[in-house]
């Protein structure tokens, strides 16, 4: 059984590609069911954020990545070959290392951001509720969460409050000299909107409107941050008064269109409007950039904002890497042990099968022996097989604690022509 990752992120793909591969949380149960039931993967989890879309799977090595790719072709209507340069595929140790780095925030657009930990936890919770994870992925994700927590408690990688939300508010402060004179609207009422509301309030924003499909959630946020809640349907007529609009819904369609903004700008008498889209898929039609006095930024545009904050946090990466390596050793020892047990079982099973074949082949001759003599022949064959396997089995057990143990275990399987049929849930 192999641990595999297929994905893309902000380093390999622009937002217009990432949004095509995004899996909003409501869509994940169906996607996970398909991966396991229709595409034959043993385990599956989906980590989909504004920065990345990644499939974590337990599968047969030869088929796992191809199955995952076919899943994306069928469900996302994409040509994997044309987009192949955006994807990365990782196996075993490299897949685990990657998730540990993700959980620590060192693969994020905003280095060290803490929101990713909740996103990793949410990915695990969703997969567990759906029954698409078992022994391997449960252990991987739990250890990644532990690694991320250690990174933030033992280093300064997450010092301060830098996040996508803070970057958006900082960008607004660069466009408008004084946020105290600005009216802002948040479109969406999720975790990211909540963080943005806090930072806008801390910046003394003049007024805050929260627009959301579920008015109850909007009311809850509005009460906490002394704002006004409105249903999403009322957003168009409220745009006229808004200087800053920050969108972060899970919608797969544009919730703010070019026509909506064009109509609002006619009544703003030349006052500029700033729109910041921190959602993936994007919430705001990119055609809005063509309108006069309208400034639109998406999540990829925030890279310039966060760049100035990276230096202090970059100094902590080496410390984080030490934590990752420490936790990785523990995970790989556990993971290798899974492979060790199944390999030993398969070797003994093949030895017994070969012994049985040979006994069957010589049945006519063995029938000439009395029961005691036949029993002695079988004991000799069994003892010979056990002695022949003794040293290989000792070495196999040692592989569990070696860095390249997985490679060695795989080599043994190939030498003895053993197929990896054992699932982690059966190990």
Residues 198 and 154 in one domain: no
Residues 142 and 189 in one domain: no
Task: Out of 106-120, 298-312, 368-382, 388-402, pick the least confident.
Answer: 388-402
**Backbone dihedral region of 387: left (phi > 0), alpha (psi from -120 to 50 degrees) or beta?**
alpha
- Whole-number pLDDT of residue 401: 63
What CA–CA distances, in Å, run from 325 to 94, 236, 264, 332?
Answer: 12, 51, 53, 10
- Whole-number pLDDT of residue 408: 72
Residues 176 and 151 in one domain: no
Looking from the CA of 141 toward its CB, the CA atoms found within 13 Å total: 29
275 pLDDT higher than 60: yes
In a domain, 332, yes or no: no
CATH number for the domain spanning 247: value is 3.40.50.720
Does 50 qualify as catalytic in the annotation? yes
Across residues 179-200, what is the average pLDDT?
Answer: 94
- Whole-number pLDDT of residue 193: 94
Across residues 198-216, what is the average pLDDT?
Answer: 95
- Domain carrying residue 418: 341-422
- The CA distance from 223 to 229, in Å, is 8
332 pLDDT higher than 80: yes
Residues 153 and 180 in one domain: no
Across residues 16-36, what is the average pLDDT?
Answer: 94
CATH number for the domain spanning 90: value is 3.30.460.30
Its pTM stands at: 0.75
Tens-place pLDDT, residues 28-67: 999 999 999 999 898 999 999 999 999 999 987 767 899 9
274 pLDDT higher than 90: yes
- Whole-number pLDDT of residue 426: 43
Residues 298 and 177 in one domain: yes
Are the CB atoms for 65 and 48 separated by under 8 Å?
no
Confidence of residue 277 (pLDDT cuts 50, 70, 90): very high
Catalytic residue among 50, 168, 186, 242: 50
Are the CB atoms for 351 and 310 separated by under 8 Å?
no
- Whole-number pLDDT of residue 141: 97
Domain count, the chain: 3
**Of 398 and 50, more confident:** 50
């Amino acid at each position: 059984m192999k641990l595999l990752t297929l994905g893309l992120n902000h380093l390999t793909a622009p937002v217009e590609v990432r949004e095509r591969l995004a899996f909003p949380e409501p869509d994940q149960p169906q996607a996970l069911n398909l991966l396991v039931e229709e595409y034959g993967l043993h385990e599956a989890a989906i980590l989909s954020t504004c920065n990345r879309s990644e499939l974590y799977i337990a599968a047969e090595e030869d088929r796992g990545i191809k199955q995952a790719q076919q899943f994306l072709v069928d469900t996302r209507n994409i040509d994997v070959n044309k987009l192949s340069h955006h994807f990365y595929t990782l196996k075993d140790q490299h897949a685990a290392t990657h998730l540990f780095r993700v959980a620590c925030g060192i693969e994020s657009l905003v280095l060290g951001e803490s929101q990713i930990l909740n996103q990793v936890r949410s990915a695990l919770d969703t997969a567990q509720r759906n029954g698409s994870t078992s022994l391997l992925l449960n252990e991987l994700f739990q250890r990644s969460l532990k690694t991320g927590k250690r990174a933030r408690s033992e280093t300064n990688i997450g010092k301060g409050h830098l996040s996508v939300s803070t970057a958006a508010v900082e960008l607004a402060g660069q466009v408008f000299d004084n946020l105290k004179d600005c009216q802002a609207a948040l479109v969406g009422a999720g975790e990211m909107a909540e963080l943005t509301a806090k930072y806008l309030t801390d910046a003394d924003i003049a007024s805050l409107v929260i627009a959301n499909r579920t008015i109850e959630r909007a009311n809850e946020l509005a009460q906490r941050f002394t704002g006004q809640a409105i249903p999403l349907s009322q957003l168009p007529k409220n745009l006229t008064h808004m200087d800053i609009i920050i969108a972060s819904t899970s919608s797969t369609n544009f919730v703010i269109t070019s026509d909506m903004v064009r109509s609002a700008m006619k009544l703003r008498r030349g006052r500029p409007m700033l729109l910041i889209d921190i959602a993936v898929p994007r919430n705001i039609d990119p055609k809005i950039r063509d309108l006069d006095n309208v400034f639109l930024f998406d999540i990829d545009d925030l890279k310039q904002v966060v760049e100035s904050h990276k230096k202090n946090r970059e100094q902590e990466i080496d410390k984080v890497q030490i934590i990752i390596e420490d936790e990785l050793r523990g995970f790989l020892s556990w993971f290798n042990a899974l492979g060790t047990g199944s390999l030993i079982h398969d070797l003994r099973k093949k030895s017994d099968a070969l012994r049985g074949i040979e006994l069957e082949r010589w049945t006519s001759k063995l029938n000439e022996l009395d029961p005691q003599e036949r029993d002695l022949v079988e004991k000799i064959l069994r003892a010979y097989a056990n002695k022949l396997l003794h040293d290989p089995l000792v070495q196999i057990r040692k592989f569990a604690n070696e860095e390249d143990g997985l490679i060695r275990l795989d080599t043994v399987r190939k030498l003895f022509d053993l197929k990896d049929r054992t699932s982690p849930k059966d190990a």
